[in-house]
Amino acid sequence: MSRIGRKPVQIPSGVTITLSKDNVLSVKGPKGELKQQIDRDIQAEVKDNVLQFTRPTDQIRHRALHGLYRSLVANMVAGVTDGFSKTLELVGVGFKAANQGNLLDLSLGYSHNILFDVPKELQVATLTEKGKNPTITLSSIDKQLLGQVCAKIRSLRKPEPYKGKGVKFAGEVLRRKAGKSAGK
């Protein structure tokens, strides 16, 4: 059995989980509501504020889906109770970030500014302090969407290995390369 799939999902107070006839599991909590389509082979059962997933066979497909859906639903429960947040850091001379609502205006060293439209499910905050790198903080209840948007913003200017310039996650350790060695 899958170690992850076997672990039960604890349901905190204030969170309700419902499974509809067409295998759509919805999680409603104090911060909002999320829905996830569950494969028809995977069974979900709620008993005593604990959600348990079971699979019919030990086929590779069933084993993979067993752990997948358990992780997705555990992230949904954590999202509607606490929420998720990620911080991106802009490293480079002249790199700037500003937002108006969910429209992110990025200056990343190109000949033009990049206007990035952040989905309405996410909240955006930018911070620019003197002597520190500008930061972008994204928060949401949906961990999948949050990670996807952060990866898209990071891909606009990935950190390069020589000076470390680019968009990186806060706390991310970059693998640095030695530059060209000096000649005679």
List pLDDT tens digits, range 88-106.
999 999 999 999 999 999 9
Calpha distance 160→167 (Å, rounded): 9
pTM value?
0.88
Q: What digits encode the pLDDT tens for the residues 166-182? A: 999 999 999 999 888 76
pLDDT score of 1 more than 80: no
Asked if the model's pLDDT at residue 2 lies above 90, the reply is no
Tell me yes or no: is domain 3-81 CATH 3.90.930.12: yes
Note the CATH number of domain 84-169.
3.90.930.12
- Token couple for 105: 């205006």
User: Tens digits of per-residue pLDDT, 98-143?
Assistant: 999 999 999 999 999 999 999 999 999 999 999 999 999 999 999 9
Q: Write down the pLDDT at residue 183.
A: 62
For residue 83, give the DSSP letter. -
Give backbone dihedrals phi and psi of 117, rounded to 5 degrees, phi first.
-90, 110
Looking at residue 142, the DSSP 8-state letter turns out to be: -
- Mean pLDDT in the chain? 92
Residue spans of the domains in the chain: they are 3-81, 84-169
For 151, which DSSP code?
H
Domains 3-81 and 84-169 share a fold: yes
Q: Which of 144, 174, 146 is nearest to 161 (CA)?
A: 174
In the predicted model, is pLDDT for residue 61 greater than 80? yes
